[in-house]
Amino acid sequence: MRNTISNGKVMMARKSLFQRIQIAISNYFHLVFIRWANIRNEWYFHFLMTPLIPIGLIVFLKFAGAVRTPAEALYVTAGNTIMSLIIGPMQSMSNDLALNKERRDFDFLALLPISRLQLILAYTTVSTIFTIPGMLITLFIGKLWFGFPMEFNIFVPVIMLLSALSMVGLGVMIGVNSKSIHHANIVNAIITALVTFMSPVLVQENHLPEFLRYLSKLFPTTYSAKAFRLALNGDIGRDMYLNLLILLGFTVAFLFIAVKKIDWRSN
C-alpha cells in the first residue's frame, strides 16, 4: 500500500476510500496525542481556567444589577459560553501555529504524510476538550443561580462543537501569517474585541446601534449565539436550523481558506 518508485517514475499507491479514512483517523489521533503532550502535565490547570472568565462575568453582571430576569440571564450565560467556545479554540490555534512557525516546527510536520485539516482538527480537539466541560459547568451554575429554563438536547453539543470550529480557520490564518506569537496575540485581541462588542453575543441585538446590527451579520458568533439560545430554550425549528446552517457555512468557508488557499510555507 506504500508509494513506490519504478523506472524513474513515482507510483502513488491506489487507496480505497475506506483505507484513506482509516489513515486519516489514525493520523488524527497521533496528532491529537502530540498536541495533548504539550499540556499533559498541567491539564487540570487548563480545565479549571476555562470557566473562570465566563463565570466571573456572570457574577459581575448579577451584582451590577445588569441581569434582572431569567431570560436576560439565559442570554448572558449562553452568550458567554459561546464566546469562550469560539474565541478559545481560535486563539489557541493561532498561538499554536505562530509558535510552531517561530520554532520552525513546520519543517518537521510538513514532511510527514499528514494533511493540514488533520492537524487543524487535532489541535482544535485538544483545545475544545478543555473548553466544553467548563462551558457546561458555566451553564449549570447559571441555571442554578438564575433559575432560567434550560433544555439539554442533541443540538446543544452539536452547536458547541460547530462553534468551537467556526473560527478556527481564522485562527490558522492569523497563526500562519503572523510574524511572532506576540503579533498573533495582538491580532487575536483585536478580533476578540470586535466579535464581543459588535455582535449580539453579550448585548441584545435591539440594543446595538443600527450599523452594528448589519455588521454583526458578518460574524459567526451572531449565528452561533442565536442557535445556541434557541436550542437551550428547546425552540427547535426553522430559525434554529437556519442559524445552524449559516454557522456551518462559516466553519466550512474558513477551514477551506485555511487548508487550501493559505500558503503555510514561511518566508
Binding residues for other proteins (CB under 8 A)? 1-3, 5, 8-10, 12, 23, 26-27, 30-31, 33-34, 37-38, 40, 100, 103-114, 263, 265-267
Q: Which is nearer to other proteins, 3 or 204 (CB)?
A: 3
- The least CB distance from residue 179 to other proteins, in Å, is 13
- The least CB distance from residue 107 to other proteins, in Å, is 4
- The least CB distance from residue 261 to other proteins, in Å, is 15
The residues near 199 (Cβ < 8 Å, ≥ 6 apart) are 212, 216, 219, 221, 222, 225
Q: Are 228 and 85 in contact (CB under 8 A)?
A: no
- The least CB distance from residue 112 to other proteins, in Å, is 5
Q: Which is nearer to other proteins, 38 or 69 (CB)?
A: 38
For helices 70-102 and 168-177, angle between their N-to-C axes, nearest 10 degrees: 30
Q: Which is nearer to other proteins, 13 or 144 (CB)?
A: 13
C-alpha grid cell for residue 179? 510574524
Q: Can you tell me the distance from the alpha carbon of 192 to that of 184, in angstroms, rounded to the nearest whole number?
A: 12
The residues near 155 (Cβ < 8 Å, ≥ 6 apart) are 227, 231, 236, 240, 244
C-alpha grid cell for residue 196? 464581543
Q: Which is nearer to other proteins, 207 or 265 (CB)?
A: 265
